[in-house]
Amino acid sequence: MLGFILRRLLIAIPTILMISVFVFSLQKLLPGDPVLAMAGEERDPATIAFLRQKYHLNDPVPEQYARWVLAAAHGDLGISLRTNQPVLQLIEEKLPVTIQLAIMAMIVALVIGLPAGVLSAYRRNTWVDWLSNAVALSGLSIPNFWLGIMLILLVSVRLGWLPASGYVSPWVDPWRSIQVMLMPAFVLGTGLAASLMRHTRSAMLGVLKSDYVRTARAKGLSERSVLVKHALRNALVPVVTVTTLLFGELLGGAVLTEQIFTIPGFGKLVVDAVFTRDYAVVQGIVLCTGVAFIAMNLLADVAYRLLNPRMRDQ
Amino acid sequence: MSTVLTELSPLPRRENRAWKKLRANPAALVGFVLVAFFILIAIAAPILPIDSPIATSWTEVRKPPSALHWFGTDDIGRDILSRMIWGARASLLAGVISVAIAVALGVPLGVAAGYLRGWTDAAISRMTEALLAAPFLILAIALAAFLGPSLTNAMIAIGLSAMPVFIRLSRAQTMDVLTEDYVESAHAIGIGHVALVWRYILPNIFPPILVQATLSIANAIIAEASLSFLGLGQQPPAPSWGSMLNVAKNFLDQSPWMALWPGIAIFLVVLGFNLVGDGLRDALDPRDT
Amino acid sequence: MKRHAFTLGLASALVVMGHLAHAADLRIGLQDDPDTLDPDQGRTFVGRIVFAAMCDKLVDITPELKIIPALATGWKWSDDGKALSMDLRQGVTFQDGEKFDAEAVKYNIERSQTLPESRRKSEVKSIASVEVNGPYSVTFHLKAPDATLLAQLADRAGMMVAPEVAKKEGDKFGLNPVCVGPYKFQSRVAQDKIVLVKDPNYYDAKDYHFDKVTYLPIPDTTVRLANLRAGDLDMIERLAATDVKSAEKDPKLVVKKATSLGYQGITFNIGNGAMAKNPFGEKAKLRQALSLSIDRNAINQVVFNGAFEPGNQPFPPGSKWYDKAFPVQPQNIAEAKKLLQEAGDPHPELTVQVTNNPVQMQLMQVIQSMAAQSGIKIKIVAKEFATLLKDQTTGDFEASQIGWSGRIDPDGNIYSFVVTGAGLNDGHYSNPQVDALLNKARLTTDDAVRKQSYDAAQAILLKQLPIVYLYHPVWIWALNKKIEGFTPYPDGMIRLKGVKFAG
């Protein structure tokens, strides 16, 4: 197992390189002109020419990429064309926020999704099943912006229970930090819970009918132990797949939810960067999300092996 | 695994049985009726006795539901009911076709990765990671620029971005199934690769793929709206549920009905597809006798 | 590291308690995250709002757009209009303690002109040299008379940055800006907040009543308003026009408005490349027909709940530069149809590009529906701004729905857009008569003479219609009722002088 993880970590470096080439070239293919948008309303030609030169935008794309990679290898991710801030600093600011929101949202999703999935499979075709399905699917269909704005109007404006915005780092004020993140994590989490619930339910339905659950029951084990120890464990492969993917996506930033609750995470940063063609910022964030997805996929593959020890590498 | 032998029975008989099981399942029937209803109104839109979905009225801007406009009017005085009915076309197409693209591309890739392992797996998995890491927005803007604005291109963009989850799911499920005793024994008695994949792997990856596909439809319908916003997808003034929701965003407080109807419609369609998916899943479940 | 976090926590706890104690912190919701906070490099509207509290200008404006003293206490034009002398305020220091004097002004103007990244170059282009006459007296020598210069100095080009810091930081000055101004920069977290604190040494510190001002970018208008209602913000800019009525009904809020200096319109491609060869690019009659098909009052009612101001010229109807001989026309479908017939093209088609923001899309759909009444078929293409701008400059468009934020001096709203070869004339409209009139208007500071030139140019432009003007946005602020002393300005800035919490 350790060898497997090490090998995968080694492959991660070329993978990251490949991702960065892919995204870099994609960005250079985009229409629009970063300098034109940056030049200001007056669009002074001399300034435009200078900026093009300053950011090496006239050079061939491979050369631009090589320059970026070399600097990145030395820990310099460049500066934002839009705000002149170092990209590394932007990432240092946003990454903890994004991670915190992702973790809290995932907790919400797991706490709702897993038990609901298990229960509705177990109590199939009863009101429990129907209710969990309806709730899960509404969580999926209700747009995040709608739920978010409604929550702000109700909880913050009308009731005054939670702040509507104003991110605070957990190192500064843990209690307030959790308070501020509660609503966004709930909004994101309920959307994801639907996926987890549906996958758990489906996989559990399959497993509950299988021989080893029958055997476990025949052995006289308690229903609870049958459900959790035998059935759930065997049902988890698709759930793990989906969970790790969703978590990776969360680490890429949740644009709408961040905007509604004014949370300074990756989502808004990357959208603004794409729209202003702030390529250094995009590259920097993609680097992070790339690492996140690689880590998540690795985590999933490790989890598969733990769940099903026979699923070895060939 | 007592079911191994029954599994080897010819396919047509199983399908007949599946259809019977599907019909006997009331939930699946409800789902089927829901989906059929929306498909029907989408098809029948031109002949239904409704207002034009693009006719504006400056005196009827953002009016709540009334006898004249059952679903109310939108931000430039258009009848929301007709826009819902016409919008069903773009939204159902965007939802179904793009998920079909994602499944059609994702499942073979995932099965190949999980079955062949080694370099194939590495290549496909790394590609998946690259696709996941690239922001959807960039992909969408690039496609809008190169392919030009159209609903078809929007469906391609959504399909591509929805593909990774299907790759990952079918890969994991394939690897899982391959460890089962009955697969190993089937392999031992000399069943070829194609037959193995067809008979054992595909039926087993079917349930999670079905679940994911029916879930992805909701995302695809909503994603269509963000694409029409980038110039891809449905072009104004033609309606789609997603873009109706997008517009409604600014009027949640004053005109809540604008968001209500498309929200309900998306919920019902997704519910319908999920129920049908459940039914299909049960009907095709090899373990269910 | 841990201890650092702990002290930070303690400090913030104290800050929170302090906030409760005297609550002299002002929190302002902005629509966007500003770009770099260097007055010479900044290019966003929201950035200017932050500058308004942080960086004083040589001169300022009144709400009626009169130029008034600020860091310059007085000024005088030479008789030939080629030299502008200014007396400077004495005893003023930059926020880091550096002294403000004539040398600093000279440095600042030269920085605007020569910093390679400067976005102010065209604004101070007319200045040939800056002469220091004494410690508090400067003269700007101009290449040619420039009636617009004072207005330029009332905006970012006239903001004074601390020379020593600027020399040291170069193009990175915006990360830690130091100016003359009532509030100095404290910290910034991109997309999250910009914090300014009061400069106790500011010369007019007694008129500024907050210890701290925090700007928070909240792009969603509904959410911005909700934050204000929840008490998390004290003031927001650009309240959505459609939210005005509900905000006015809220007993805890006050709404303030000012008609902006800017406009929104449709720019036609008349001579920029091959795409100009379209019916609307070639025939002024088609453009007139489109303009006549548009019911500008209905647009205002439908899209902006009647809160904005319909317009047909680069200046709002209330401006002294507005030509009253050409009032906003009512919709006239019959006349529009007649014009189309005369042009021999009763059912022309036009593709209009528009920025992908919900309000502009809504606007274009309304126009699309109005134009259809006279037989004009409009195709709307939504583009994100970077693409739209690129396509517009390279001539890859038939018509473009775009606006202008507006300038204090009338020249800023018209010259660059219609004069042959001018920087923002993306449609490549060209008319020697218009060029001559608008160039003439630049040479004199006599408003009556200038108005004649502008009126004469308008008479031509309103027939040729290289740009069809639609409306003038109205700046709308919503404030917590406890805030006193806020004055709306047509430039949309938030000036904090005299603003305070009641009681």
pLDDT tens digits, C374-414: 999 999 998 888 889 899 999 999 999 999 989 999 999 99
Q: Assess whether pLDDT exceeds 70 at residue C23.
A: no
Indicate the burial class of C50 (C-beta count within 10 angstroms; 0-12, 13-18, 19 or more).
Answer: buried
Indicate the burial class of A207 (C-beta count within 10 angstroms; 0-12, 13-18, 19 or more).
Answer: buried
Contacts of B277 (CB under 8 A, 6+ apart): B31, B210, B211, B213, B214
Q: What is the largest distance, in Å, between two alpha-carbon atoms of chain B?
A: 76
> Of A130, A160, A135, which is closest to residue A147 (Cα–Cα)?
A135
Which residues of chain A are within 8 Å of residue B287 when distances are taken between CB atoms?
206, 209-210
B252: left (phi over 0), alpha (psi -120 to 50) or beta: alpha
- Host H or E run for residue B6: helix B3-7
For chain C, count helices (H), then strands (E).
Answer: 16, 21
How far are the Cα atoms of A111, A137, A251, C12, C348 from residue A193, in angstroms, in the given order?
8, 9, 17, 35, 52
8 Å CB contact of A264 and C386: no
Ordered per-residue pLDDT tens for chain A, 314 residues: 788 888 888 888 888 888 899 889 888 888 888 888 788 777 888 888 888 888 888 889 999 999 999 999 898 999 998 888 899 999 999 999 999 999 999 999 999 999 999 999 988 888 988 899 888 888 888 888 888 988 998 999 889 899 888 888 888 889 999 999 999 999 999 989 999 999 999 888 888 887 778 888 888 888 888 887 778 887 888 899 999 999 988 988 888 888 888 888 988 888 888 888 888 999 999 888 888 899 998 999 889 888 887 776 54
8 Å CB contact of C222 and B149: no
- What is d(CA C59, CA C158) in angstroms, rounded to the nearest whole number? 7
Contact A85, C190 (CB under 8 A): yes
**Candidates B77, B230, B252; nearest CB to C356:** B230
Contacts of C63 (CB under 8 A, 6+ apart): C258, C487, C488, C489, C490
B53 CA: distance to closest CA in chain A (Å): 23
Q: Assess whether pLDDT exceeds 50 at residue C309.
A: yes
Q: What is the pLDDT of residues B42-92, one digit of tens each?
A: 999 999 988 899 999 998 899 999 999 999 999 999 999 999 999 999 999
**10 Å Cβ neighbour count for A146?**
21
pLDDT score for B7: 40
Mean pLDDT of chain B: 85
Name the band, by pLDDT with cuts 50, 70 and 90, for residue B8: very low
Does A161 contact chain C (CB < 8 Å)? no
How far are the Cα atoms of A171, B101, C324 from residue C316, in angstroms, in the given order?
51, 52, 11
DSSP reduced 3-state for B216: helix
Task: For chain C, give the percent of residues with pLDDT over 70.
Answer: 95
Contact A142, A136 (CB under 8 A): no
- What is d(CA C139, CA C149) in angstroms, rounded to the nearest whole number? 13
pLDDT score for C4: 47
DSSP reduced 3-state for A188: helix
The structure tokens 């927001």 sit at: C236
Which residues of chain A are within 8 Å of residue C423 when distances are taken between CB atoms?
42-45
Does C222 contact chain B (CB < 8 Å)? yes
Q: C residues 105-164 near A, CB within 8 Å?
A: 116-119, 121-123
Indicate the burial class of A219 (C-beta count within 10 angstroms; 0-12, 13-18, 19 or more).
Answer: exposed
Does C278 contact chain B (CB < 8 Å)? no
Look up residue B96 and give its two tokens. 């179904």
- What is d(CA B78, CA B69) in angstroms, rounded to the nearest whole number? 9
8 Å CB contact of C119 and A165: no
For chain A, count helices (H), then strands (E).
Answer: 14, 0
How far, in whole angstroms, is CA A201 from its chain's centroid? 23
pLDDT score for C12: 45
Work out whether strand C467-472 and strand C263-268 pair parallel, antiparallel, or are unpaired: antiparallel
DSSP B73-139: B-TTS-BHHHHHHHHHHHHHHHHHHHHHHHHHHHHHHHHHHHHH-HHHHHHHHHHHHHHHHS-HHHH
CA angle C394, C400, C404 (to 5 degrees): 100
- What is d(CA C94, CA C185) in angstroms, rounded to the nearest whole number? 12
pLDDT score for B250: 84
The verdict on ipTM greater than 0.90 is no
8 Å CB contact of A308 and B176: yes
Instruction: Using the Cα atoms of residue A69, residue A70, residue A76 and residue A81 in order, give the sign of their dihedral.
Output: negative
Contacts of C373 (CB under 8 A, 6+ apart): C293, C333
A7 phi and psi, to 5 degrees?
-60, -45
pLDDT score for C56: 97
Q: What is the pLDDT of residues B200-256, one digit of tens each?
A: 888 888 889 999 999 899 889 888 877 877 777 778 889 999 889 888 888 888 888
Give which of B126, B161, B261, B284 to mutate to test A binding, by max A Cβ within 10 Å.
Answer: B126
pLDDT score for A309: 79
Name the band, by pLDDT with cuts 50, 70 and 90, for residue B288: low
How far are the Cα atoms of B77, C13, C292, C293, C364 from residue C330, in angstroms, in the given order?
20, 60, 7, 9, 18
What's the mean pLDDT in B97-126? 94
Does C333 contact chain B (CB < 8 Å)? no
B12 CA: distance to closest CA in chain A (Å): 22
8 Å CB contact of C382 and B254: no
Q: What is the largest distance, in Å, between two alpha-carbon atoms of chain C?
A: 81
Q: What is the pLDDT of residues C418-465, one digit of tens each?
A: 999 998 999 999 999 999 999 999 998 899 999 999 999 999 999 999
Does B230 contact chain C (CB < 8 Å)? yes
pLDDT score for C15: 42
What's the mean pLDDT in C312-338? 95
- What is d(CA A280, CA A286) in angstroms, rounded to the nearest whole number? 10
Does B253 contact chain C (CB < 8 Å)? yes
More confident residue, B281 or C486: C486
> Of C167, C43, C33, C18, which is closest to residue C96 (Cα–Cα)?
C167
pLDDT score for C39: 96
pLDDT score for B9: 40
Q: Closest chain C residue to B62 measured between Cα atoms?
A: C302
Predicted structure pTM score:
0.89
> Of A109, A119, A136, which is closest to residue A239 (Cα–Cα)?
A109
8 Å CB contact of C301 and B249: no
How far, in whole angstroms, is CA B161 from its chain's centroid? 13
8 Å CB contact of A241 and B172: yes
DSSP B124-163: HHHHHHHHHHS-HHHHHHHHHHHH-S-HHHHHHHHHHHHH
Name the band, by pLDDT with cuts 50, 70 and 90, for residue C14: very low
A40 CA: distance to closest CA in chain B (Å): 23
DSSP reduced 3-state for C201: coil
> Of A119, A127, A235, which is closest to residue B27 (Cα–Cα)?
A127
More confident residue, C94 or A31: C94
- What is d(CA C196, CA B76) in angstroms, rounded to the nearest whole number? 42
What's the mean pLDDT in C76-88? 95
What's the mean pLDDT in B120-149? 85
Contacts of C307 (CB under 8 A, 6+ apart): C241, C244, C257, C300, C474, C476
What's the mean pLDDT in C162-186? 96
Name all chains with 3 or more CB-CB pairs below 8 Å to chain A. Answer: B, C
Instruction: Using the Cα atoms of residue C132, residue C133, residue C136 and residue C142 in order, give the sign of their dihedral.
Output: negative
Look up residue C208 and give its two tokens. 């500024």
Does A254 contact chain C (CB < 8 Å)? no
Which residues of chain A are within 8 Å of residue B168 when distances are taken between CB atoms?
241, 245, 297, 300
What DSSP designation does C161 have? B
Q: C residues 390-419 near A, CB within 8 Å?
A: 390-391, 393, 404-405, 416
For chain B, count helices (H), then strands (E).
Answer: 12, 0
Does C175 contact chain A (CB < 8 Å)? yes
8 Å CB contact of A152 and C226: yes
What DSSP designation does C181 have? S
Which residues of chain C are within 8 Å of residue A149 when distances are taken between CB atoms?
220, 222-223, 226
Does B238 contact chain C (CB < 8 Å)? no
Work out whether strand C349-355 and strand C235-236 pair parallel, antiparallel, or are unpaired: unpaired
pLDDT score for B14: 53
Name the band, by pLDDT with cuts 50, 70 and 90, for residue C273: very high
Which residues of chain C are within 8 Å of residue B75 when distances are taken between CB atoms?
302-303, 362
Does C297 contact chain B (CB < 8 Å)? no
Q: C residues 336-375 near B, CB within 8 Å?
A: 356, 358-359, 361-362, 364-366, 368-369
Contact C35, A83 (CB under 8 A): yes
How far are the Cα atoms of B161, C127, C267, C489 from residue C408, in angstroms, in the given order?
47, 19, 22, 11
Name the band, by pLDDT with cuts 50, 70 and 90, for residue B5: very low
CA angle C411, C413, C418 (to 5 degrees): 85
The structure tokens 């929007």 sit at: B154
Look up residue C42 and give its two tokens. 């900044």
The residue ranges of DSSP E strands in C8-145, in sequence order, are: 25-30, 59-61, 67-69, 72-77, 83-88, 127-134, 137-142
Indicate the burial class of A125 (C-beta count within 10 angstroms; 0-12, 13-18, 19 or more).
Answer: exposed
Q: Assess whether pLDDT exceeds 80 at residue B16.
A: no
- What is d(CA C11, CA C4) in angstroms, rounded to the nearest whole number? 10
C-alpha count within 13 angstroms, C-beta hemisphere, residue C458: 21
